[in-house]
Structure 1
Amino acid sequence: RPEVTLPPRKRLDIALGPRYEVGESSSPAAARPAGEVGYGITDSWDEIVETLQGAPISTDTELGGYVREFETRVRQDMDEIYTRLDDEQTERQLLAGRLNMLFRDRRAHAYTRQLMETEARMSREAWARATVASDLVHGEVMSLRTTVLGQISEIRELQATNRRRQTVISELLRMDHRRSIETSESRT
């Protein structure tokens, strides 16, 4: 016998359709005691049967009242069941949507991760190059400083030599000037 896979509302409509008679069931579910069916829903049929046991039904009006009460309870229970099923289905759809979104975004997240890793690697390489360049510049600066200090001391030596030569030249010019005066006086 093939299994029916209809939604609960369709199954109830088919089960309670006009062509079927509702009778006593031999299934274990029908033999269970009255109480909670699940999801906080009370088994209304068992409540009505318990209420009617021992109470004789005297008129069709009372019976009609019981049937209407039963029908109202069944509708309320069905509405509550369908509401809970709809809520559950909505929640499942939301979860499925989130899952689909994560699957769609998976490639973008992988690309972002790859970009971040590349950026981190390039940053480390740039830092290493900057450190090497800084060390090279420091070496160049020290070399230039040594060169400048050597040139400063050479300039000082040249200035001292220049002063000595200027002194000698001044002395020679003075002596030349005196000789020239002496020579001119001796001619006169």
Structure 2
Amino acid sequence: MAGRLNMLYRDRRAHARTTLLMEREARMSREAGGRSVDASDLARLEVMSLRTTVLGPQAVITELQAMDRKRQATIIKLLAADHRRQAQFIEALKLLKALQT
């Protein structure tokens, strides 16, 4: 028993150092966990901010695309009407030419 007691007495510095190291590691782990939560919250806030920043222009883009489709449809109708007028004009010119001869 005395031998065990002497061994524990001799190792007390090592045990004290081990205790200090474990306490330091636990403290650092708690601090790192806190920083991780803070970083996660910050990242979440940034994502929400970016979503807000992106959603606004997306609505405008959708609106502009709808307007563009309407304009394209109008242009197609105007081109078709112009084509019909040209065809009618050509036919009228052919008739005039035929009447003159």
Do they superpose with TM above 0.5? yes
Aligned identity (percent) is 62
In the TM superposition, residue 168 of structure 1 has moved relative to its aligned partner by: 1.5
AA partner of residue 97 (structure 1): G
In the TM superposition, residue 97 of structure 1 has moved relative to its aligned partner by: 1.2
Q: What is the TM-score when the length of structure 2 is the normalising length?
A: 0.83
Q: Note the alpha carbon deviations across 1:72-102, whole angstroms, 9 max, x for none.
A: xxxxxxxxxxxxxxxxxxxxxx2x2122111
Gaps of 5+ in 1: 1-93
Aligned to 2:93: 187
Q: What is the TM-score when the length of structure 1 is the normalising length?
A: 0.47
AA partner of residue 147 (structure 1): T
Aligned to 2:66: 160
AA partner of residue 167 (structure 1): A
Please say which structure displays the higher CA radius of gyration.
1
Runs of 4 or more off by more than 3 Å in structure 1?
none
- For residues 49 and 4 of structure 2, what CA distance do their matches in structure 1 show? 64
Match of 2:83 among 177, 180, 183: 177
Q: CA RMSD in A?
A: 1.3
In the TM superposition, residue 152 of structure 1 has moved relative to its aligned partner by: 2.2
Match of 1:108 among 14, 25, 32: 14
- Tell me which of the two structures has the higher relative contact order, counting C-alpha pairs closer than 8 angstroms and 6 or more residues apart: 1
- Count of paired positions: 94
> Residue 151 in 1 paired to residue 57 in 2?
yes
Q: Note the alpha carbon deviations across 1:32-90, whole angstroms, 9 max, x for none.
A: xxxxxxxxxxxxxxxxxxxxxxxxxxxxxxxxxxxxxxxxxxxxxxxxxxxxxxxxxxx
Aligned to 1:141: 47
In the TM superposition, residue 148 of structure 1 has moved relative to its aligned partner by: 2.6
